[in-house]
Amino acid sequence: MTLLKDSWAALRRYTPARVGLGRTGVSLPTIQHLALQESLALARDAVQAEFEPDAISAELRAFGFETLTCESAAADRATYLRRPDLGRRLSPSSRAALESRRGPPLDLALVVADGLSATASRRHAAALLGALRDLLPAANWRLGPVVLVRQGRVAVGDEVGALLGANAVAVLIGERPGLSAADSLGAYVTWAPAVGRRDAERNCISNIRAEGLSSADAARTLAALLQAARAHQRTGVLLSAALAAGTPGGVATLTSGR
């Protein structure tokens, strides 16, 4: 048997894609087959990872935040994955807990959710919010408690923001793991949060991770985005259009499709 080495392995210099893998017959060599299986295993485990609100809370309190732990209407991970509608709403008990916390209006509600990678929110959310706090002067930005939502989707922030009487909400949430990154965090900003907001009414910053956009850089981009949202009293495609001349780096509106 001859294992056919790909004489083109040099191609790997140009792309992170899995080029130049070689072949045995027409098939993947064992070493490449197992490398793919390992990447898949890491990503699949990241999807199933447990949210760790206590650990995130401890870090946030060290930065001076108050925190409140909630859950969405999706009772478990399997339900969460198949019922996005439930992940977008709070459970009845969490809704009651937030209603009881409502005080004077807030400038910004902050939400951390597990999304599709609890690993991402565990690793990056507290550091990002700590950096963000330094960039938003307390005199101008009245912040509420950081609400930690288990089995949450982006839109759960709409209900949280509305219940807390906030002008805007920022949701930090684990993005769907891929084979190259299983701990990528996304940050979504929605002006005038209310249940039923559409994705086109949000702006997002994605790929927040050590090898992508750092927490510190993400905090600067997020702060700029929040200032812009406040200045224009809007988010989403309308804000993007208003900022067309000078959109902050890395900010995008949500688009769907492959």
237 binds other proteins (CB under 8 A): no
φ and ψ at residue 64, rounded to 5 degrees: 95, 10
231 binds other proteins (CB under 8 A): no
Looking only at the bridges linking them, the beta strands covering 143-150 and 108-113 are: parallel
Describe the strand order of the beta sheet including 202-208 as a list of residue ranges.
67-71, 143-150, 108-113, 168-174, 185-191, 202-208, 251-253
Q: Where are the beta strands (DSSP E) in 72-184?
A: 108-113, 143-150, 168-174
Task: Return the number of the residue (164 or 218) whose C-beta is nearest other proteins.
Answer: 218
Query: What is the footprint of other proteins within residues 79-118 (CB under 8 A)?
Result: 81-85, 116
SS3 assignment, position 166? strand
Q: Which of 69, 109, 72, 49 is nearest to 229 (CA)?
A: 109
27 binds other proteins (CB under 8 A): yes
Shortest gap between Cβ of 85 and other proteins (angstroms)? 7
Span of 27-35, 55-63, 131-139, 233-241 interacting with other proteins by CB under 8 A: 27-35
50 binds other proteins (CB under 8 A): no
Report d(CA 193, CA 184) in Å as an integer.
24
CA atoms lying within 13 Å on the CB side of residue 149? 39
Choose which of 21, 216, 237, 242 interacts with other proteins (CB under 8 A): 21
Task: Return the number of the residue (135 or 200) whose C-beta is nearest other proteins.
Answer: 200
Shortest gap between Cβ of 202 and other proteins (angstroms)? 16
Span of 58-66, 78-86, 97-105, 124-132 interacting with other proteins by CB under 8 A: 78-86
Beta carbons of 12 and 20 less than 8 angstroms apart? yes
Shortest gap between Cβ of 53 and other proteins (angstroms)? 21
Q: Using CB under 8 A as the criterion, what x/- string covers residues 169-198 for binding other proteins?
A: -------xxxxx------------------
75 binds other proteins (CB under 8 A): no
Span of 77-85, 99-107, 121-129, 143-151 interacting with other proteins by CB under 8 A: 77-85
Tokens of 111: 């939400």
Report d(CA 185, CA 1) in Å as an integer.
45
Interacting residue ranges for other proteins, rule: CB under 8 A: 4, 6-8, 11-21, 23, 25-28, 32, 36-37, 39-40, 43-44, 46-47, 81-85, 116, 176-180, 256-258
